[in-house]
Amino acid sequence: MYEGLDTVVLYEELAYEDVLPVAWMPLRQEFDPVTLGSHADRNLRVLQALSALDEHGTIEKPDDNSPNAADLLRLELKLNLLLDMVGALLVNSQSRPQASPIRFNALGAIWHAAAPLPQPGQHGILEIHVRDCIAEPLRLPGRITAVAADGRVKVRFIPPGEHIADLMEKLAFRKHRRQVAGARQRT
């Protein structure tokens, strides 16, 4: 049965799609191993934080057999509210790039960029601020593969390593699962 929701893919893999603050930082030279390692360490921490934030109990079906289920749910909701408030403070206290529609996974990304547009073949780092309450963006090194006249830019990432790729795949899967659940609730 079709539920009116298509799977979001990029480079034939499941992808994360949203409107997020995104910036392309061009580099004059190719990447050195020290820079790649530094970005990998930070990206791992950001993705682990995103995973921890996404792990929450189901609000729709609390466990009635647990004596503390209602208390834990209230505590979790308050903690989520606190994280949202801290995220709002972070957004207001630091400059972030313009939000843009983006689709990305461990292989690459496609987004709408503002002028001046990057050039095909250009090396750089794509910064993606996935959540407001996490100050650090994902910093994904790659090379521009295509630039369309309408500002759509496509980048192919340097392989981020198995653990980071796995966490990015899980991030995309959780987003897709929430979209499917939301579509089912609306029908």
Write out the residue range of the structural domain in which residue 179 sits: 9-55+95-186
The whole-number pLDDT of residue 3 equals 44
For residues 4 and 180, is the Cβ–Cβ distance under 8 A? no
Is 85 among the domain residues?
no
pLDDT at residue 53, as a whole number: 81
Write down the pLDDT at residue 48.
92
How many domains does the chain fold into? 1
For residue 168, being part of any structural domain is answered with yes
Which residues fall within 8 angstroms of residue 160, CB to CB, at 6 or more apart?
40, 43, 106, 140, 168
Residue 89: the pLDDT is: 77
pLDDT of residue 104: 97
Low-confidence ranges of the chain (pLDDT < 70): 1-5, 55-65, 87, 90-92, 187
Asked whether residue 112 is assigned to any structural domain, the reply reads yes
Residue 61 within a domain: no
pTM of the model: 0.80
Instruction: Confirm whether 63 is domain-assigned.
Output: no
Is the Cα dihedral 131, 118, 123, 112 positive or negative?
positive
Structure tokens at 11: 């480079």
CATH number at residue 131: 2.40.10.220
- Would you tell me how many other CB atoms lie within 10 Å of the CB of residue 94? 9
Q: Please give the pLDDT value at position 59.
A: 47
